Chain A
Amino acid sequence: MTERLDGPQDPPVDSTGGPTSGPDTPPKRRRLGPSPTIAIIFLMPAALLLGIWVVYPIGYSIFRSLFDASGQTFVGLENYGTIFSDGGTLRTIRNNLIWVVVAPIVVTTIGLIFAVLTERIKWATAFKLIVFMPMAVSLMAAGVIFRLVYDEDPDKGLANAVMTVVGDTFSSAQGYPEARARTGDESPVAAEEDGTVVTKQPVEAGQPVLIPIVGVKPEVMPANAQPAVAATGGDGLAGTVWFDFTPGGGGVNGQPDATEKGLPGMTVEAVSDGQVAATATTAEDGSFRFEGLSPGSYVVRLPADNFTAAYNGLTWLGPTLITPAIIGAFVWVWAGFAMVLIAAGLAAIPRDALEAARIDGASEWQVFRRITVPLLSPVLLVVFVTMIINTLKVFDLVFIIAPPSVQPEANVIALEMWRVSFGGGNNQGLGSALAVFLLILVLPFMIMNIRRFKRGDS
């Protein structure tokens, strides 16, 4: 059964091919047709439902949109004016615009790439099933899935867990936000304007370098920190970076006491004439040692990035990233749709055309660019337009993924329509205007559908 996604053996249902797609000509088939009365009986249930639940409401919504919240006072086009003047609704329009511009292109492109790539692997069916699967799942469940993925805590959210792993690979620095050098005349170190901590006096090998730090917040103190030990001599330039603070008082300022802990993971640089001569990282007890440093005097410094927070990923569900994050979930849901449709189109491309071009010496890219994509353009257009309509109507994903506090930032027209009409806004005049606005937005595609159908059917 699993090979079916690979390509239905029988042709998909379409307007021309029925079960057997017999060669019968249309004019002949209706000769013995029944009377219109019987036709009306067959159509009646559908006509009633469509009339009462779909067609009449379109008229009523337009009518209702001309009245205020109470429905008593005629306000003309005022509700439509509100849509284009209120900051909240303008933001929904802006967000929908982002959706319409970004999501269809991304989904169609990914669908095309997947469709082409699946032709090159043997387990294409399994791949298609996996990517297609989100189509069967409710957007509600998809929303819960992505709320989990986007959780800001890297110990809960997969996205930030991956990002911190990648981030840590590129910089091993342990962050100590708000920590700073102990200042004062007696302190051996001073802070520069950008937060860099430098030794006041040049230091030389054999002379332990003490770098006392204060203001380390308990929650950033690494669990593996060991009591600080003053570096002893030996060869090479060595020293200690430690948290110069004894809880409950006591201890000598500027000296590592037994009660004080080293600060592991600090990046330490030895500088000579403005050039970084060597770099070291502090151990669990805060000690560091520069290996292979030529003798001489150096200034030792802790670069400012030691005092920025450790990289913890992105605030996906915050006001800035919320719309891109939800678009990511949308792409996850719809990529399979695009892939399967485009793959079917790809399979219908005559292989001779591709082979002929290859024999003529065209590269794979040229074949793809000049033959495959143009031949696919009808399917690509269908996918693209379907995605535009879907993005205009997007509701569930935004409603579920955006936490209540950032929902105004992520709001879209369909959600705002529900919110003002039923979700506490209590203004069905404005709600009707938003619904009509949404209908107007999909109207061009409705006309396009009708035109395409007329062309295809005659």
Chain B
Amino acid sequence: MTTATAPAPARSHAGAPRRNLIGRIVDRLGSGVVQVVMILLGLFWLVPTLGLLVVSLRTTEVNNAEGWWTIFTKPAELTIANYSDLLAGGFGASFWNTVAITVPTTILVIGIAAMAAYAFAWMEFPGRDLLFLVVVGLLIVPIQIALIPVAALYGQAGIFGSIPGVVLFHVAFGLPFAIFLLRNFFIGIPASLLEAARMDGAPEWRIFVSVVFPLGKPAIASLGIFQFLWVWNDMLIALVFANSANQPMTKYLQSQMRQFGTNMDILSSGAFLSLIIPLVLFFAFQRYFVQGMMAGSVK
């Protein structure tokens, strides 16, 4: 995992003394081609999102008349009218619904999963290994399997359509990954630290809060950002379990999709607003994001 030094050998062979002159020229030309190809690919990945931003900053009339790329010749056409219209409509409420769903879910998943992960990592109880294999198995259960049964349960409990219903569904389906990730991290905590605390007669609850939780911070940060993004970006669970008063942004925007052409103003600005917070989080915590992704996949 010495990525910091990784590119060096790849580059150094270009200048290796045993290479003859022609070889070096070919390498140099090849690297020029690679640069150009990579710039094009980078644009390919960046430009669609830029397009959304520009479209969101232009009126429907302008968007219907010409492509967003004419921005480079007519920059004066930009307006924030779409955004003010959007916030005056139902979007503002759906933004706060997204927050009200995402924040409690993330906190609950971290807390509940950390407790279970600690038990799996450092406590002995019958059937522990088998139970953990069940958790591993549940990692990829499609949420479709629970939509109909849980909808029926919620109907009986009277929480169908409510925010707590959405949150609990998210928490339950977030747990397998969360327990898996944290247990694998906690198991690496030096045993001596825990034994010292246990020998001092500290109760398990205390050890969990003051030893395991602080030491587990990197993994908890990874999990937190992952869970946050997953819930923030969810559409299917909201579609089924949130009523129109409690709907998050994704469901609100989805309901505007039917008239895609005429609702372009709302959809573009709404989609862009919905992705700002994930993007900020991503750039701020990308290290934890990448680590969490690796821990969840490379087994």
Contact = CB atoms under 8 A, between A and B. Distances in A.
A223 interface: no
Interface residues of A, number: 136
Contact of A130 (B46, B51, B136, B291): B46
A101 interface: no
Chain A interface mostly: helix
Contacts of B185: 13, 18-19
B149 A61 contact: yes
A155 B67 contact: yes
Given A8-B290, A49-B168, A418 B188 contact: no
A220 interface: no
Interface string B131-156: 10101111111101111111111000
Nearest to B229: A136
B190 interface: yes
A148 B254 contact: no
Nearest to B98: A138
B228 to A, nearest CB: 10
Contacts of B81: none
A456 B49 CA distance: 40
B190 A43 contact: no
B195 A4 contact: no
A139 B257 CA distance: 14
Contacts of B286: 1, 4-5, 129, 132
- The interface centre, meaning the residue of B119, B229, B234 with most chain A CB atoms within 10 A of its CB, is B119
- The interface centre, meaning the residue of B37, B38, B47, B171 with most chain A CB atoms within 10 A of its CB, is B38
Contacts of A399: 235, 254
Interface in B240-289: 240, 250, 253-254, 257-258, 260, 267-268, 271-272, 274-275, 278-279, 281-284, 286-287, 289
A452 B299 contact: yes
Given A54-B146, A117-B34, A13 B222 contact: yes
Contacts of B136: 449-450, 453
A6 B4 contact: yes
B174 to A, nearest CB: 9
Contacts of A60: 148-149, 152
- The interface centre, meaning the residue of B10, B115, B140, B176 with most chain A CB atoms within 10 A of its CB, is B140
Contacts of B52: 141, 144-145, 148
Contact of A34 (B128, B137, B204, B235): B204
B9 A351 contact: yes
A138 B250 contact: yes
Contacts of A155: 65-67
B294 A13 contact: yes
Given A121-B35, A332-B48, A344-B1, A24 B291 contact: no
Size range of the interface on B?
35 or more
B100 interface: no
A386 interface: yes
Contacts of B171: 49, 53
Nearest to A436: B145
B31 interface: yes
Contact of A13 (B144, B191, B292): B292
Interface string B34-65: 11011001100111110110010000000111
A5 B128 CA distance: 36
Given A145-B52, A344-B1, A156 B123 contact: no
Contacts of B168: 49, 53
B176 to A, nearest CB: 7
A241 interface: no
B240 A422 contact: yes
Minimum-distance CB pairs A-B, first 7? A18-B188, A7-B3, A53-B172, A29-B191, A138-B233, A136-B282, A57-B149
30 contacts: A7-B4, A12-B294, A13-B185, A13-B291, A15-B187, A18-B190, A38-B204, A39-B128, A43-B119, A53-B150, A58-B145, A60-B152, A61-B145, A121-B34, A122-B7, A127-B42, A130-B42, A131-B45, A135-B282, A136-B289, A141-B274, A156-B63, A337-B293, A414-B142, A417-B147, A435-B147, A439-B145, A446-B137, A446-B141, A450-B137
